[in-house]
Amino acid sequence: LYTAPESCEGRCGEPLSEEDECHCHPECESHGSCCGDYDRHCRPGGFSRSSDSITDQELLEVSEQLYGLDHNKARPTDIAINPQHQAAPGETGHKEDLSPHPLYKYVNEELFSKPTYSSFIKLLDNYQRATGREEEVTADELQEQDNFLREVMKTELMKKLFAFLHGKNRYDSEQEFLEDLKQMWFGLYSRGDGEQDSSGFEHVFSGEVKKGKVSGFHNWIRFYLLEKQGIVNYFSHNFNGPWDTFPDVLGLQFSWDGFYKEVGSAFIGSSPEFEFGLYTLCFLARPGRACHLSLGGHSLSIQTYPWTKSTYGNGRSFIATAYVMSP
């Protein structure tokens, strides 16, 4: 279900990449690798213009801008972590607790009173973590989704992201962007037996359990809150990012109420809007393949995948997953 897109919609002029199943650059004709809808989208008269494609360089530039606008991220004094054991590549599947102490020694919980944090945290208890069990979405939970989206859209970071996407003719108005964010992230689809049991937000930020394993769960706030309650047990890490400030990146091994996660990569100390914005950018610009960014002068890649079994609107894709890649 996790595949690169086979369409040229919004991709005309993108550089050729071996990661792509098909291509939308004019050179694809000589290579015989054009997507099936290349003519409809990318030839003169098609409704996707090459100027609307997002180049690799533009991704580096806009990601640095978003990094600089993460005004709500943790300060160095707000978080103290204790990574302890670093797992070798062959150790991540061993399910051994090699770190006797919690990952988080200290978090300044005043962070959580910031509007984007508090509205984000209220969303985390809205989900049945087991796939195959239909989600029952209440009116209050719908309101919590709207509150979170409204708060993140007030931030300079998300306004910058919208301005960038608007300049690429992806959205005509902020309201259209807001409505699409709600669908791509919170729209329900079925990972199980036809039940509306999952969404991009649940999978990425809250976490799920599928076939006895933790699926998704890539958020530091969720991890901290559950570790504090004794529900998450930190085992080890296999990657620690190059940053000496926040946001940092860790690749984690942990148990969630008895279910194991072999590698749960996560930003540490970033604001909810930072992760939400970066994942959205990469999902729209490079769905199904590595999205190469620059954050504080450091290279970093994010992987996203669209859900391929169902769509919304005019064939738009829900988010299946999004996560920061550990080298």
203 is catalytic: yes
Q: Mean pLDDT across the stretch 190-199?
A: 81
User: From CA 283, how far away is CA 303, in angstroms rounded?
Assistant: 8
Determine the pLDDT at residue 8.
84
Token pair 């209440």 in the structure block, residue? 138
d(CA 259, CA 300): 28
**How far is residue 29's CA from residue 24's CA, in Å, rounded to a whole number?**
9
| Domain extents in the chain | 1-43, 56-325
**CATH number of the domain at 1-43, please?**
4.10.410.20
Q: Verify whether residue 101 is a known catalytic residue.
A: no
218 tagged catalytic: yes
* Phi and psi angles of residue 229, each rounded to the nearest 5 degrees, phi first: -85, -5
Mean pLDDT of the chain: 91
Q: Which residues contact 268 (CB under 8 A, 6 or more apart)?
A: 79, 81, 220, 246, 247, 248, 249, 250
Residue tagged active-site, from 261, 292, 298, 309: 261
Report the pLDDT value the prediction gives residue 1, as an integer from 0 to 100. Answer: 45
Point out which residues pair with 187 in neighbouring strands. none
Catalytic residue among 25, 168, 203, 237: 203
Query: Which pLDDT band, with edges at 50, 70 and 90, does 47 fall under?
Result: very low
Q: Which of 41, 210, 218, 237 is catalytic?
A: 218
Beta pairing class for 298-312 and 290-295? antiparallel
Q: Is the pLDDT of residue 76 over 80?
A: yes
46 pLDDT tier (thresholds 50, 70, 90): very low
| 133: pLDDT strictly greater than 80 | no
For residue 80, count other CB atoms closer than 10 A to its CB.
11
SS3 annotation, 209-276: EECCEEECCCEHHHHHHHHHCCCEEEEEEEEECCCCCCCEEEEEEEEECCEEEEEEEEEECCCHHHHH
